[in-house]
Amino acid sequence: MNILKIAVDIITKVMNKDFSLNREFKKTYAKYQFTEEEKIRLEDLILGVIDHYLELEYYLEPYLYKKTKDETKNLLLIAIYLLIYRQENLELVIEEVCKVAVLKNKGVSNFVKRTLRNFSKNRTRDLGNLIAIDRLSIEYSYPLWLVSYLLKDYSYRDVAKILKQEDLKGKNLTKMAIRQLKLEDQKIGLDLWASRESSSLLSDKLKKGKLYAVLDQKKKQKQLKRYLSKMNKKNVKPVLISPLVLQDAIKDDSLDFVLVNAPSSNLVNYEKEKDLKYKLSLSGIKEIVSIQKAVLDEISALLKVGGEFVYYTNTVNKDENERVIISFLENNPNYKLIKEVSYDNSEVIGYIAYLRKVAWDRYIVFQKII
């Protein structure tokens, strides 16, 4: 078992976009027995290289041939990561990576050795020579289209801050979202795309009311059910139903509150899922937005007048946040936006909208009809 060889194989699979990083980690841990030290080393190599992939690739580019295979390139990227970010000794790095390279053939081993020596002799390529948008893309290793996409809503300085996540508030959005709900006894509500944390917090706050924790995957429903039983949360009932067909199962004007942890692109909020920023697409974002809007349409009729509705995501993308709520309010004049928490007003990586259902304004309804 060679840690570097396993790291190269996983990085190559994941960066070809056909594989999930989390899934590859699970498969690897099921196949091999690692010490804790080996596991830490493996995760550091893989997560570090993927997180800095475009930057490392930029530094390595002058030394590669056009026909350099992905496995060889990724082995070199690991080596450069160790030299730049882990400040490891050049000779020890060469020795370690050549043990993997020689498994291909001696020619690959010689190329790797020569490339790393040449790289160490020269200055690292200066990012200052790049145009502004290219520099953001390479310095923080986000695809160019994604940087451009963020720049339509944020300044260059803010995009740099968002991508770097510098001085941003790492607040717990679930706790912030639930804190706004003014729940009393005997209230009935929904927790859409429920989690252990959200269901537990709502259960404690709700006391004698009833919470339906909505999940669309049977495995997750069973897991949450076991957890809630263990924690003696008797006022929460996990239910298996698609959030897109809620009106088929719930009567109109029957709920006191709804919490929606909406599916999102998780833009810049990737933690261990570092590969997702390379796999995100504009069409994927549009699909997410269409799901978000469809779910809000399902919810709109279910709340009682005076009912509370909290919508939150783990992304800074305004198309999935502010614009979704603006669209919802335009189509539902019987809802009022009470408060928003976003990057713009709180510098959080995420978004929360607090809404309340109000009595219909007949004048507004009449205006919409005509």
Sheet holding 303-313, edge to edge: 236-240, 210-215, 188-192, 255-261, 303-313, 351-357, 335-341
CA of 349: how far to CAs of 157, 158, 173, 198, 367, in Å? 15, 12, 9, 18, 37
Question: Does the pLDDT at position 362 exceed 60?
Answer: no
How does residue 369 score in pLDDT terms, banded at 50, 70 and 90? very low
Contact 368, 333 (CB under 8 A): yes
| pLDDT at residue 365 greater than cutoff 70 | no
What is the pTM assigned to this prediction?
0.89
Question: Per-residue pLDDT for 185 more than 70?
Answer: no
- Over residues 306-326, the pLDDT tens digits come to 999 999 999 999 999 999 999
Q: Does the pLDDT at position 229 exceed 90?
A: yes
pLDDT of residue 272: 65
Confidence of residue 206 (pLDDT cuts 50, 70, 90): confident
pLDDT in tens, 242-254: 988 998 889 999 9
Predicted pLDDT of residue 156: 95
Angstrom distance (rounded) from CA 156 to CA 147: 9
pLDDT value at 361 more than 70: no
Instruction: Show Cβ contacts of residue 105 under 8 Å, excluding neighbours closer than 6 positions.
Output: none
Q: What's the confidence (pLDDT) of residue 292?
A: 96
User: Does the pLDDT at position 360 exceed 60?
Assistant: yes
Task: Please check the confidence at residue 88 and state whether its pLDDT lies above 90.
Answer: yes
pLDDT tier at 347, thresholds 50, 70, 90: confident
pLDDT tens, residue by residue, 266-307: 888 777 688 999 999 999 999 999 999 999 999 999 999 999
Place of tokens 């006391």: 207
pLDDT at 200: 94
pLDDT for the residue 18: 75
pLDDT digits (tens, 9 = 90+) for 141-160: 999 999 999 999 999 999 99
Q: What is the pLDDT of residues 216-227, one digit of tens each?
A: 999 999 999 999
Average pLDDT of the chain to the nearest whole number? 91
Distance of CA 316 to the CA centre of its chain: 10
